[in-house]
Every structure is written in C-alpha cells, then in structure tokens.
Amino acid sequence: MTLPSQYPDRPTPLLDDQFRPLTLGGTYPCPLCLQGQLQAMLLMEVFSCQRCRHMLTVDLPTQQVCVVDSPQTIRWRWTGRAWQTVRSATQRITPTIGWVAGGLLCLPAALVWVAGYIFPPLPAPPGELPFSTLWTGLTVMAHGVLVVWLLASYYQLPIYLAATLRAWKYSYLS
C-alpha cells in the first residue's frame, strides 16, 4: 500500500530546466488575473499581485496558495511551471450538479418544443427550418450559455475570473 503524497507530482528538478519550486523569493504569474506577477510581501508568507492587488497565503510544503481577500476560498497548486486549481470536495462535479445543469438545458427547450408540437405555427417555406424548431434551438443555446456561466462562476475558472476582474476594473476604475 502506498500512502498518498501531499506533494504534487512533479519531475525531478535536475532533469527539467523549466521546473521551478514555489518559494517566497520567486516571482510567479498571478492565477487570478493571469496578467500580473505574484511576489512575497515583506516578512510575511503571503504573495501579492502587483496588478490586481489580491493577496494569497502560501503553503510551501504543499506548494499551494489560497486567495484570502475573496468571499470564496480558492486554492491553486504550483506544478513547477503553472498553477493548477485545487478543488475541495464541495467543488467537484457531482451527479446533482449534472442533473440541475441538464434540467436547465433540457426542460425549457422541451416546453418550447411541446408548445410548437401542440400548436403548430404556419408551415415554413421550403428549404427553411420550421419556426418551432428554430425557437427550440435558440432556447437550448441561450440556456447553454446560462449553464456555462453558472458553472464557470461556481468553479471559479481562471478565464471567468480574468473576465470578471477586467469588467470590474473597467466599470470602477475608468
């Protein structure tokens, strides 16, 4: 039986020139804004980003950082080259989240399709999609965008965080 290691899987530093462990003396790309650089604050085990001004606590044994000035706890593990989001048990995709996402995607579209089936609109000209089919497709697409937005917000995907931060800066700092 092998015990699970608390350290991330990583190549041997001697064999990989690109590998850089997480240390307080280093500079690392910011996992929140993806544009700034993280540097340790003086006499503290905290990194700060010179661009987005977020602060992240550092856990050197596990090579992880955790954002401290956010309502949601978000952790990243440094792999030696890039950040990897660490998901807690509550942030993993569960069957319930899958069912809710599937319901949000399918139920409204099914309602639109049933309405078009029961009360068929005027027949479409030859070569064009019937209105009810087109409307059902648009409903699936619109709710798909909603589901993707909700999942990106819940799982704090880096691209979502960067877009949110950019929108926040644009609306408050300009």
Distance CA 166, CA 54 (A): 14
Least Cβ distance, residue 161 to Zn ion (angstroms): 9
CB of 39 to Zn ion, least distance (A): 11
Q: How many residues bind Zn ion (CB under 5 A)?
A: 7
Smallest separation (angstroms) from Zn ion to the CB of 74: 12
Mark residues 10-39: x for contact with Zn ion by CB under 5 A, - for none.
Answer: --------------------x-xx--x---
Beta bridge partners of 143: none
DSSP string, 18-72: T-----TT--EE-TTTSSSEEEEPTTSSEEEETTT--EEEEETTTTEEEESSSSS
Rule CB under 5 A: say whether 52 interacts with Zn ion: yes
- Within the chain, how many helices (H) and strands (E) appear? 3, 7
Shortest Å, Cβ 62 to Zn ion: 21
The residue ranges that bind Zn ion (CB under 5 A) are 30, 32-33, 36, 49, 51-52
